[in-house]
Each structure stands twice: as structure tokens, then as C-alpha cells.
Chain A
Amino acid sequence: MVAGFAPSDALAAPRGRAEAEPVAARTVRKPGSEVRVDGIVKTFSGDGPAALEGVSLAIAPGELLALLGPSGSGKTTLLRVIAGLEIPDAGRVFFGATDTTDVPVQRRGVGFVFQHYALFRHLTVFENIAYGLRSRERSRRPGEAEIRRRVGQLLDLVQLPTLASRYPGQLSGGQRQRVALARALAVEPSVLLLDEPFGALDAQVRKDLRRWLREIHRETGQTTVFVTHDQDEALELADRIAILNRGRIEQVGAPHEVQDDPASRFVMSFVGETARVAADIAGGQVWVDGRAALRAREDWPEGPVDLCLRPWHLTVGGDEAALLGTVREWRRTARGTVAEILLDGSDSPVEVKVTDVHRKGDRVALQASEARVFPRG
């Protein structure tokens, strides 16, 4: 959901969009390339990073893709494989039509923003951003004036035009993040990779930078992959989300797809609050504790299933085919009254908005406007 995002409130700094856009276009606009990984396997002995167990994924040119998953799911490992910082045991990495699996990281031409920025502490902001340009071999290295111009444009782009001579230690977390991004963009990468880009920032800065990253992406059109464990961040920012769990991709899709049509129980519970009820499907009905609770959809499989429900799809009332539950708690909040209900067949309570007054211990029937089932396992 990108709702609430408007260009006008995007920039906290006084510099306006109308001015920033052409700057960005001049500096870093470069057709992003397609990135494709195919059957990536990566194992670690001992207590190394999370492993990958055969991951394939295609990222369209100019796309902003989020790798979302809990810690240990392998999302950072996948990002590092794309960058060339990890060498996969099996599988290939393609940038466009080129197989880059065996291209060393120095020549892969990626922009990488590290979780803790990895700015060079002994270099100024200017020299940090210029580092990649100065690292080129002599024939491709721009002259001093050109470096100066390019770094200046990037500083404008990340809205830090006055901080060129500061050292990273003198910057705030958000400013460091911007410098790290400018440094990564300076080499005109074919793909921009960000590892937990907002992980180390406090909530307010995080929110601002999120908008700003979306903005930069729109301006540069760069193929961008970022790693996050924060569902909101992924849902708000990304064009598409790849959800990883234990070294495998569970689902890839647009935010609304993974939210509305989760491919697995894991995805369902990872992208939103979920009530899970142990049920059986037989004869077109969903049975809970021997009661027909819900009409089964035609494409639902027969047999033991997990019935997964979003709390906001539940309403109290009705009686014929309904889910049953026990009220554990009832309270008023600023937005209405809420009952904490333990559904029969479930082991953790859900909060459901109610209109009537309930007492602890009341038995209630609930209707689900939407539900998903996944074979129990």
C-alpha cells in the first residue's frame, strides 16, 4: 500500500522536487538492468549466515523489489549472492543476458548499501562518495573536475549539499544512510542493493527515509532490491515482494497479492495478523470440532486443513453455519469496542471489533467474510 504518499510531502528538506528531478536525471538515470537468479544454493558450515536452498527469482528492469523474511530466512545471503559478496555453491546469477556468477564483485557494477552503512570513517563525505570513481582504472577514471561535479550532484540528490567536508562520525544515522546511498549510486550501478536500509534508524527518521527512497527510485529508475524483516516497510515501498522462509522463496508478488492471496500459511501469518483454526473439509463444508462452521470453496482441498482468517474479516453474529468462540476479554478503546475471542479449534485469541456488550466467558458465533485454507502439516 503506497497510500498516503504524495510528492509534495516527500521531502523534509527545503529543496523541492521540481529542482531535484532534473539533477537526478542528469546524474544517475540509467536504464536499470534485469536481474535473475537461478537455483541458488548456498550452505554454511557451523553457525554461519542463513543458507539458501535453491532460490530462483527474476527482477524486472527498474523494479523496486523487497526481500522480506524473518531473521535466518536467507534474505541477506541472497542479496550478497547477487552482489557477488557470497559465492553460491550452485546456481547462476544473470544481469540482463550476462551470466555474472563468476564475475568478481569489483567488476559486477552493483551499488550496495550495507546495514550499518560501512562508510569509511577516515574519509570525508566527499571522499566517501568519490571513492568508487577514484577506484576506476586510469583509462576510465574521470578527471578531478568531473568527480567534483558528479559528487556535487549526488550530494544534491541526497539533500546533503553542505556536508561534503564532514566525516561520517559527525553525521546522524539518517545522514549516514544518505551518504551510503550516494556512494553506492556514484558508480552508476546496474542494480542497487540495500541490506536492511532502515534497520538501524529510529522510527521517525525511518519513515522519512522510506518515502525518500521511493522518491529516489522514481527519479533514477534503478533496478533496486532491498532486504527487510519489516512487513510494513516492504508493503509500503516495494513494487513486488519476495517472501523468504528458511532459505526458500515462499511467494513473489505485488503487495496486494501477497496480502490478499498468500501462497502459504507462513506468508499469510507473516504479512498480517492471522487466526488459525484446525479444521477438516468434507462434503463442501468446513468442519470445526465436528460442527459445520463454514461453506467450503470449490477449490479447497478435502481433508485436514488449517483455516486461516484475518481478524478484520470476522464479525460477531449469525448462527447457522458459523465459527464459535469464547470471549476472553472485552474492552472499550478510542476506536470502538473490542473483544478478545478464543476461537474453537484455535490456540491463540484474536481481537475482533464488536458492537454489543460482552462478558468474559460469553459464547459467540462469528461469520468470516473471507478465509483461506492450507493443508495441515
Chain B
Amino acid sequence: MSSPAMSSPSLPAAPHAALTEPKGVRVLLIATAIGFLALFLLLPLAVVFAEALSKGLGNYLATFAEPDAQAAIRLTLLVALISVPLNVVFGIAASWAIAKFDFRGRNLLITLIDLPFSVSPVVAGLIYVLIFGSQGVLGPFLQRHGIEIIFAVPGIVLATVFVTFPFVARELIPLMQDQGTTDEEAALTLGASPWRVFLTVTLPNIKWALLYGVLLCNARAMGEFGAVSVVSGRIRGLTNTMPLHVEILYNEYNYVAAFGIASLLALLALVTLAGKTFLEWRHADALAGRGAH
């Protein structure tokens, strides 16, 4: 006597119905999610390119021939080139100390490293004005010696370093904590010098997470607006970064040029996202908290 259920082809579906939502609900949820994302993320992104190309390709390309635009691009690259390596060195040093050693106040240090993320970019700019500005703590001293920090490149670098401060460290710390010290200990017992241990054992273990951090750090460094805006003084051709240049052009109703520069920044964002997604997909196990344990 064969049970009718045994021969019923619809049986396998039945128990699963209790473990997911009805099809209608699923479709509704997916549609809502996609609709929300399209409305809030995709449309704004599309606007950049639509506006930049609204007066034709020729006008779009002419944007980048402007000397002020080129100066802004150069300054943005320079600022990233200084601030990203600084934060890489810091990130590696901090995560080495935090992950490889056991000391009091370790968790406090981790919290403090994350602090810049919860400070408004405008406040980040302000704190340097309060120190280095003409009315600042060191203002008179700097003026006497003719050193310019605020409304000059050093101020822009400082503000950028502040807002991108945690990016590399926060990728490395959990990963290196996870990896522990065994590999390094193995290298030490084999007689390797500390520097060799770092270069040949630690660095290969963290390289993808490091790249991930650098990617995010760089995107923010090149795109930072609020903090840089406070310390820059917006001197065309001198202290204007790309985002600041976008603002100036936009306020002058030069939309094609504004969106032209913006399109470069948007491309940078897309490349960053692509790189990030690639790393998460291809090297998930080499990034902290994303690997299969």
C-alpha cells in the first residue's frame, strides 16, 4: 500500500512553504527594495551623466581642458597621494599593536580610532581652523614664521587625513585579531628578523584587506567636501579640490562643467564599488568578518 503522499509530486514544496514567504509577498518585497534603491540611489547617479552630457560630448570634454579644472584634479590627486599612505602606515602600526599584543586600554584605543567617523566633517575642518587659523592657538606663531596651513594645501591634507583616519585600521584590526600570532611566531622560531616577519608573513596575510581599506580610504580622500571646504578658502587654481570645484561651478550655474567634474568623481565611486565588490567576491576569506569560518 503506497501512501498517496509518496507519489504526490507537489510534496517537496509543501514543507518549504513554511520556511519562506508566499510568492506574492516575496515579489512585493523585492519590488519595494528595488524601487527604493532605484529612487534613492540609481536616479541620482543617472543624473550626473545625463547632465554632464546634456550639451553634447564636445562641451563635456571641454570641461577638462579648463586650467582651473586641471588644477583641481591635480590637487585632489596630490592630497590623496599624501593622506592615504599616511593612514596606511598608521593603520598597519595600530593594528599590529592592537592585534598582536595584549595590553590594557586596547578596546579604548579601538574606539578612539573609530572616533573620526562620528565627527561631522565640518567640525573636523573647524578643529584645525581653531588650531592653525589666524585666531587659532598656533595662529600668531605660524603668521610670524610665514607658515600657511589653513587656506593652503597642508590644511586640506590634515582635514582629509582626519576624515579618512579609521578606514585602513578598521579593516586590518579585526582581520589580524582573527589571524592571531601563530604565523609570526613560526617565522620567529625560524630565525626571521621582525622586519622580515612583517614583509614575508604578515603582509601577504593582510594584503587584500589592506587593498580594500586603501580603496575606501582613497575614495573618501578624493571625494571629501565638508571638512576640506572649511579649511580650503576655495582659492581657484590653488586650494580647490575637485568636490570644491564642483560646488563653485554649480553655484555659477555652469551645470555642464559642474556635472562634468562630478562625473569623474562618480566614476571614481563606481570603480571603487567595483573593486570592493570584486574583493568581497574573490577574496572573501582574506577580509575580516567576510570569510567562511
Report which A residues bind B (CB closer than 8 A): 48, 83-85, 105-112, 114, 116, 118-122, 131-132, 135-136, 183-184, 186-187
Contacts and interface: CB of A to CB of B under 8 A. Distances in A.
Given A120-B201, A122-B204, A135-B196, A183 B182 contact: no
B189 interface: yes
SS class, residues of chain B in contact with chain A: helix
B183 A118 contact: yes
B188 A105 contact: yes
Contact of B185 (A107, A108, A114, A187): A114
A186 B190 CA distance: 9
A105 B205 contact: no
B197 to A, nearest CB: 9
A135 B182 contact: no
A183 B185 CA distance: 13
Interface string B168-190: 00000000000000110111111
Given A120-B201, A122-B204, A122-B205, A106 B192 contact: yes
Given A120-B183, A120-B187, A187-B190, 7 more contacts: A85-B189, A105-B188, A114-B186, A118-B183, A119-B186, A132-B190, A135-B191
A48 B192 CA distance: 26
A184 B189 CA distance: 8
Contacts of B189: 83-85, 105-106, 108, 110-112, 184
Given A106-B192, A122-B204, A131-B192, A114 B182 contact: yes
A355 to B, nearest CB: 54
B193 interface: yes
Contacts of A116: 182
- Bin chain B's interface residue count: 10 to 19
A307 B174 CA distance: 53
A135 B201 CA distance: 12
A45 to B, nearest CB: 9
B191 A106 contact: yes
A116 B179 CA distance: 12
A122 B179 CA distance: 14
Given A120-B201, A122-B204, A122-B205, A136 B191 contact: yes
Nearest to B189: A112
Contact of B188 (A106, A122, A184, A186): A106
Contacts of B200: 120, 131
A166 B167 CA distance: 35
A209 B289 CA distance: 35
A6 B205 CA distance: 43
Contacts of A108: 189
A105 to B, nearest CB: 5
Contact of B193 (A106, A112, A120): A106
A10 B205 CA distance: 37
Which 6 A/B pairs are nearest by Cβ-Cβ distance? A132-B190, A135-B192, A118-B186, A112-B189, A122-B204, A118-B182
Contacts of A109: 191
Contacts of A183: 186, 190
Contact of A132 (B102, B182, B191): B191
Contacts of A106: 188-189, 191-193
A135 B193 contact: yes
A107 B191 contact: yes
Contacts of B191: 106-107, 109, 132, 135-136, 187
- The residue in A110, A119, A131 that gathers the most chain B C-beta atoms within 10 A of its C-beta is A131
Contacts of B186: 112, 114, 118-120, 183
A109 to B, nearest CB: 7
Nearest to B204: A122
B190 A135 contact: yes
A48 B188 CA distance: 21
Contacts of A119: 186
15 contacts: A83-B189, A106-B189, A111-B189, A120-B200, A120-B204, A121-B205, A131-B200, A135-B190, A135-B191, A135-B192, A135-B193, A136-B191, A183-B190, A184-B189, A187-B190
A131 B190 contact: yes
A291 B191 CA distance: 65
**Residue from A48, A106, A121 whose CB has the most chain B CB atoms within 10 Å:** A106
